[in-house]
Amino acid sequence: MIRHELPTEAKQETFGDANLLPSVGLLALDRQYAVLREEIRGAIERVCDSGRFVLGPDVADLETDLSRELGVPHVISCASGSDALLLALMALGIGPGDEVVLPSYTFFATASAVTRLGAIPVFAEIDPATYLVDPADVARKIGPKCRAIVPVHLFGRTADMDALLPIARKAGVPVVEDAAQSILSTWHGRCSGALGDVGCFSFYPTKNLGGIGDGGFLTTTRDDIAAALKLLRVHGMEPRYYHQVIGINSRLDTIQAAVLRVKLRHLDDWTTSRQRNVARYLDLFARHGLEGLVVLPTDEPRGRHVWNQFVIRVPGGRRDALRGHLTTCKVGTEIYYPIPLHLQKCFEHLGWKKGDLPETELAAEETLALPIFPELTVDEQRTVVGRIAEFFGKAARGEPKPAATGSGHPSPTADGPHFLRRMNAVGRADEVRC
């Protein structure tokens, strides 16, 4: 596991029993790079020397690595997570006038992939406790023109697939998992992306497995979809200059693949570090008596939550004031997402109005993402929570407990994802349940 020391020159300020740092970033990608610098540079140099810059053996090897790691037979890389969603819907034949049910509380690309094909996004409500799409509302929103549903495994937590898969099956529509934020998350021991008909992932630099630029990939257990995706990502061309269908140009750069192969080897450890950070936060929030003032995120008992984001809820209209205080104290935060998709200007023509999805709209007003990246130090976390306590006028009580131990994973199975089997083999017990 990778650890980082704080810069020694960091000026510290006392609050209660904690030493508060002068700043904490929302992300620190430079720390990850500092550890992997030589390996990453070596990988880039090797690609430059090879003169092969698009697809090629590195891309094929990355697809094989991911297939083994996620326990899914087909992995097809592409140029971004947004393209992955577009390609998935194209492979399923979604077109003009078709309806696709998806949450409004997600990144824009989930819906824009639908509209780019002339289809209509039908927005479903979220469960206010998890921020994930509410299966009951998905069922209500499925009409005769529905051709697919797209659950989003938001913030690193798998949507309720126990409920969603039967709903889709009953309606006779495929499930496209938007797993852009949830690489290595599981549901009853199976990885997200291997649960529905096709999974869509992003290598955007802030994701748990981020490239040094854009990139993405798709997963599927279905041979027919895999074949369609391989064709669609290269202009429907097979063989060269013979176009079987109209596809798009969405190939992964070789440099991205070479760098991502280096990073993939660390992803499981980084995920464990995120989980450790969650346990520390929960302890710190409790020590400061903040639990009644902010709503903390919960773990997923049916699978592995990979914590791409640690999102708290600040009720009572105080979210923006808290964010302002944290900004003043140089603590990085973000709002995912301030305007739900059904209220975006570009979707006005669809006729949605404020009040149509009250839980989604309230979440957009109350949620705040805090730093959760793997290399975050305990002093940085003390500072984040100390500053929040300062805002609410709360002092710390007692020293933080060490992070709890014990695996939060379902029992690894012989045919499960590779990382679960590897954990079993080495008898790891440093996962935390939060």
Ligand X SMILES: Cc1ncc(COP(=O)(O)O)c(C=O)c1O
Cβ closest to ligand X, residue 91 vs residue 180: 180
CA nearest 62: which of 283, 296, 255, 274?
Answer: 255
Min CB(226)–ligand X separation in Å? 20
Cβ closest to ligand X, residue 181 vs residue 367: 181
Min CB(201)–ligand X separation in Å? 8
Residue 330 contacts residue 23 (beta carbons within 8 Å): yes
The single residue among 56, 103, 211, 216 that binds ligand X, judged by CB under 6 A, is 216
Report if residue 106 touches ligand X, rule: CB under 6 A. yes
State how far the alpha carbon of 73 is from the alpha carbons of 40, 69, 169, 181, 208, in Å: 27, 10, 22, 20, 22
Min CB(200)–ligand X separation in Å? 7
The single residue among 47, 152, 257, 282 that binds ligand X, judged by CB under 6 A, is 152
CA nearest 176: which of 141, 222, 136, 208?
Answer: 222
Min CB(178)–ligand X separation in Å? 5
| Residue whose Cβ sits closest to ligand X | 81
In this structure, how many other beta carbons lie within 10 angstroms of the beta carbon of residue 30? 11
Report if residue 87 touches ligand X, rule: CB under 6 A. no
The single residue among 67, 110, 158, 250 that binds ligand X, judged by CB under 6 A, is 110
Torsions phi, psi for 112 (to 5 deg): -65, -30
The single residue among 180, 191, 368, 370 that binds ligand X, judged by CB under 6 A, is 180
Min CB(400)–ligand X separation in Å? 31
DSSP strands (E only) in 152-273:
176-178, 186-187, 190-191, 198-202, 216-220
Min CB(31)–ligand X separation in Å? 21
DSSP per-residue codes, 312-368: EE-TTTTHHHHHHHHHHTTB--B-S-SS-GGG-GGGGGGT--TTSSHHHHHHHHHEE
The residues in 251-290 that bind ligand X, with binding defined as CB under 6 A, are: none
| Strand 198-202 with 190-191, pairing | unpaired
Min CB(385)–ligand X separation in Å? 26
Per residue in 227-252, is it b (16+ CB within 10 Å) or e — as a string? Answer: ebbbbbbbbbbeeeeeeeeebbebbb
Cα 149 vs. chain centroid, distance in angstroms?
Answer: 18
The residues in 319-378 that bind ligand X, with binding defined as CB under 6 A, are: none
Structure tokens at 102: 């998806």
Cβ closest to ligand X, residue 256 vs residue 377: 256
- Residue identified by tokens 């890389």 is 77
Min CB(217)–ligand X separation in Å? 10
Cβ closest to ligand X, residue 141 vs residue 157: 157
Report if residue 109 touches ligand X, rule: CB under 6 A. yes
Cβ closest to ligand X, residue 111 vs residue 423: 111
Q: Which stretch binds ligand X (CB under 6 A): 53-61, 78-86, 262-270, 315-323?
A: 78-86
Q: Which stretch binds ligand X (CB under 6 A): 4-12, 101-109, 271-279, 419-427?
A: 101-109
Cβ closest to ligand X, residue 214 vs residue 300: 214
Cβ closest to ligand X, residue 151 vs residue 416: 151
3-state secondary structure of 6: coil
The single residue among 32, 80, 256, 277 that binds ligand X, judged by CB under 6 A, is 80
The single residue among 32, 67, 77, 82 that binds ligand X, judged by CB under 6 A, is 82
DSSP strands (E only) in 129-175:
146-149
Residue 381 contacts residue 281 (beta carbons within 8 Å): yes
Cβ closest to ligand X, residue 70 vs residue 109: 109
Q: 10: Cβ–Cβ under 8 A, 6 or more apart, which residues?
A: 21, 22
The amino acid sitting at 327 is T
Report if residue 178 touches ligand X, rule: CB under 6 A. yes
Report if residue 204 touches ligand X, rule: CB under 6 A. yes
Torsions phi, psi for 316 (to 5 deg): 80, 20
CA nearest 116: which of 106, 108, 105?
Answer: 108
3-state secondary structure of 255: helix
Report if residue 197 touches ligand X, rule: CB under 6 A. no
Hey, which residues does 100 pair with through a beta bridge? 121, 148
Q: Which stretch binds ligand X (CB under 6 A): 143-151, 175-183, 297-305, 352-360?
A: 175-183
Residues in contact with ligand X by the rule CB under 6 A: 80-82, 106-107, 109-110, 152, 178, 180-181, 202, 204, 214, 216
